[in-house]
Amino acid sequence: MNPCFLSKEHRPPLSEPHRFFREVNRILKPGGKLFLYVPFVMNEHQVPFDFFRYTSYGLKYLCRQARLTVLNVSPTNGPLYTASRWVFIALQQISKEKKWVFTIRNILLGLFKFIFIPLCVYLEKYSTKNDFPQCWMLIAEKEGQKTYKNTKLDKCDVIREIICCPRCKSAALTQTKHQLRCCECGEVFVVNGDQIDFSQDIT
């Protein structure tokens, strides 16, 4: 369980999941959500920073300990796809020392890649139980009432957000009914209704 949006060199190892979940609770606003993708039946990856495998019950426990409400825990796939992927991974480990063995290995890899794995993906929809996935996906929420920032701005606020003075590039602008003045260089521009004419300064 690592922040996958970071480069490998900058991914911090998650060796203490309890602390991670408590920190998530600390930094989330009330009503804020955590979206997590964690391994369950997977080979070691991101070596040497691969420390844990997580069950759905383990994720729910970690959320309860951190006072996060679990909204959803779902598998990424079913047991057929997981099993086919494991056989595919196992075949890749066969040594190249004996050519005839390596040839058989390549034939089997081709069969699994182009026939068995796609077939397993198709048959997944008929699976009655999906408790053997490669990964689990978790959505959890911090308890408390959601707070919304008032984003309604008047015309002057909008202008200050999106424009700057063409002379000095300052965003410190003030507006009156018919003029827009730069607080930095003092340039004044004509305002006609909703239009600002930067080509005509009146200083």
- Quick one: pLDDT band at residue 195, thresholds 50, 70, 90? low
- Residue 54: other Cβ atoms inside 10 A: 19
- Boundary residue ending a domain (92, 113, 142): 142
Which residue is it, tokens 């200083």? 203
30-47 mean pLDDT? 90
Same domain, 111 and 195: no
Is residue 184 domain-resident?
A: yes
Same domain, 30 and 94: yes
Same domain, 116 and 44: yes
Give residue-wise pLDDT tens across range 52-85. 999 999 999 999 999 999 999 999 999 999 999 9
Q: The domain containing residue 174 runs over which residues? A: 155-201
Same domain, 37 and 122: yes
Q: What is the mean pLDDT of the chain?
A: 82
Cβ neighbors of 160 (< 8 A, separation 6 or more) are: 171, 172, 173
Question: What CATH number does residue 55 fall under?
Answer: 3.40.50.150
Same domain, 36 and 84: yes
Number of domains observed in the structure of the chain: 2
Cβ neighbors of 4 (< 8 A, separation 6 or more) are: 11, 37
Same domain, 30 and 121: yes
Q: Which amino acid is at 134?
A: Q
Same domain, 80 and 180: no
Is residue 67 domain-resident?
A: yes
Same domain, 108 and 175: no
* Alpha carbon distance 72, 108 (integer Å): 37
Same domain, 159 and 124: no
Name the range with the highest mean pLDDT among 34-38, 153-157, 179-183, 188-192. 34-38
Same domain, 38 and 120: yes
Is residue 149 domain-resident?
A: no
Is residue 115 domain-resident?
A: yes
Same domain, 81 and 163: no
